Structure formats: structure tokens, C-alpha cells
Structure 1
Amino acid sequence: MSIYEFSAQTIKGETVSLEEYRGKVLVIVNTASKCGFTPQYKGLEAIYKKYQEQGLEILGFPCDQFGHQEPGSENEISEFCEINFGVTFPLFSKVDVNGGNAHPLFTYLKDKAPGLLGSKGIKWNFTKFLVDAEGNVVQRFAPKDAPEKLIKPMSKLLKESV
């Protein structure tokens, strides 16, 4: 099993295989527009702009499982991210990250990179997963971890992938 065996629907409704991201370092994050961590979009976008040409992709997955903090439609989410944070990294359709309806990608990510004390569940929006260029889940970052905390481990992976 590999991350490249999964597919997801973009926020525009197109199905994309994660195979398209083979050879890229990925940051996969569950997002929300009405969350205390929503300003992290700005940091994620800054990292994306700085490192995209070196092989970084950030994949944002809106999620409404935590405090109903992502109530909007796909179109509303897309517009919000673009207008308020200038988001240009790929956004996907709203997903569940926990429970019986969790997107299989997030089930896989949680298995490969459990949280604190081995917990599998995602605790809140803006949990971030770092994936190397071979599709291995390397590290999980808590919602409170600012996007800048990913730079050092991400930079190392980008250098290794060249």
C-alpha cells in the first residue's frame, strides 16, 4: 500500500490520483475556514510559493468534523481561501478525517503517522502530514504547529529528492 494508490476529488469536482504527485514532497492538511487556526492558510501559502519549484505540493482537504468550522460549499470555500489568503495550492472537496466515513487517504495517514501517545484520531483542523517524494508518510504535525515548523524537515526531504 502506498499513498499513490489513493485518489481524491478536487474542490472543482475532478477526480485526481495521488499518483500525479509522485516525486513531490507533500504536505497534506485538513483545513477549515472558520477555525482559530485558519490564519495558517497564509503560512502554508507562503511555504508553497517559496518551495513549489523545488518539488513541494501542499494538498488542502476542507473538513467540517470539528465544531462545524467548515460549513460552506466547495465554491464558497474556494473563494474564501483565494480572497482572504491568496491560496494557490490544490484544494480538494470536503472530507471526513475521522470515523466510519473518513476518506481512505486520512485513514492511511493516521495509521502511518499516529498522533501523541499513538492516538490515531485527528484532534482538530490543520493537522499536517509530511510525505516524502517516494510517498512515505514521514511526520505528523499538530494543529497548533505553525506551518513554519515544517520548513526544516521539509527542506531536508526536498534536498534528498533532487
Structure 2
Amino acid sequence: MSKLSTLRMYMRRPERLAEATDLYTHRVKLLDGGELDLADWRGHPTLIVNTASKCGFTPQYEGLERLYERYHDSGLELLGCPSGDFADQEYEEDGEIGSFCQRNYGVQFPLSTRLSVRDRPDPLWAALISQPGSAPPKWNFTKYLVGGDGRLIEHWGPTVQPDGPKITESIERALAGGEQGRV
């Protein structure tokens, strides 16, 4: 992506929704060739993260995998969405992405196929960044916590560690049923 294209991407602002919508009405294609119907995750809090394999924040895959291992049996779902929107820091081929994530970080949580999260956002991401209190990702590894009801609870930028206290405390509240769609 050229510098001018990047600047244009940052200048575009998503439409802001007045009311929260149900994010579990979306489907995404997965790296393994399957499709994930997010409706299957209804009732479970879900952390959705835009990822990239060639970024300074890529080691956050370790923290994401720790979160998944720690909280998945309690009900947390986690979806990584590889994207090349920021400095084209993602591989082009799905096989390369999956291989890299498994080999280097042992990623077990689902990963979508490479998609756009900001430039020309995939429908899930267009809805996610348009929610009241939301914002488009400024870079790779922006994290969005969705409640079991499909409403956005909170989001964090790339410098917030996925398994740090800010995110784990929000996850624990969501798992306990204490937060449903509160940004």
C-alpha cells in the first residue's frame, strides 16, 4: 500500500451506528477452508483481533494463545483476523499464514482468511468498527471484546497486551455475565 493510499485509509471514517447491533449475525471464512458462523458463539464472550505475521506486535500471538488456553474451557471464544491493511504486514497466501502462526506460536484458536479490517473492511469488521463507542483499528493487534449477546463490550489498541490485566479483567467479568454490550 502506498503512503497516499495509507493516508486515505486513515482519513476514511466508518459510519457510526446510533444503536448497537448483533455482531454474531456474521460469518467469516477460515484459514482451514471452513466457514465460521458467529451465531454458533452466541452466549460466549468473544475476543476478535486483527493480526499480522510480519509486525512488531506479532509476538502478541503468544499472549492470545495463553488467553485462549486459560479461558476457552470457561466459555471464551477468540478469533484472529489476519490483515495486510497496515504496511502489508501479512502473507498473501492462507497456507503461509496458518503455517507461520502454528510453527512460531502454536496458535490453536481460529483464524479467518486474510481480510481487510480498515481499508475496505470485511462485513464483520465494518459492523465491528461502526458500533457505538468503537473505533477502527489504528494498527495490527487491536482487540475487540464482544459479549455473549453479540454487543461490543470494549476495545483496546495494539500496545495493550492481550493477557494483561485490562483485558483479562474484562474477559472475567464477561464470563461471569457482568458485562453485556457495554462500551
State the TM-score, normalized to the length of structure 2. 0.81
Matched, 1:159 2:176: yes
Which one of the candidate residues 39, 43, 67 is aligned to 1:19? 39
Q: Give how far 1:13 is off.
A: 2.1
Match of 2:137 in 1: 122
Q: Deviations over 1:87-143 (max 9, x none)?
A: 1001110110113x310111111111555xxxx432110010001111110101101
Query: Retained in 2: the 8 A contact 1:27–1:57?
Result: yes
Instruction: Identify unmatched segments of 5+ residues in structure 1.
Output: none
Name the structure 1 match of 2:57: 37
RMSD: 1.4
Residue matched to 1:102 = 121
Distance across 2 between alignment mates of 1:15 and 1:28: 16
Partner in structure 2 of residue 150 of structure 1: 167
Look up the equivalent residue of 1:106 and give its one-letter code.
W
Matched pairs, number: 156
2:30 matched residue in structure 1: 10
- Gap regions ≥5 residues in structure 2: 1-20, 179-183
TM-score by length of 1: 0.91
Secondary structure in 1 aligned to 2:177? helix
Which residue of the partner structure matches residue 51 of structure 1?
71
Divergent runs of 4+, >3 A = none
Which has the greater radius of gyration? 2
1:54-107: CA deviation from partner (whole Å, max 9, x where unpaired): 0001100000011111024111111111111111001110110113x3101111
What is the percentage of aligned positions where both structures have the same residue? 38
Q: Any idea what the Cα deviations from partners look like across 1:20-53, whole Å, max 9, x if unmatched? A: 1111110000000010000000000001100001
2:131 corresponds to 1:112: yes
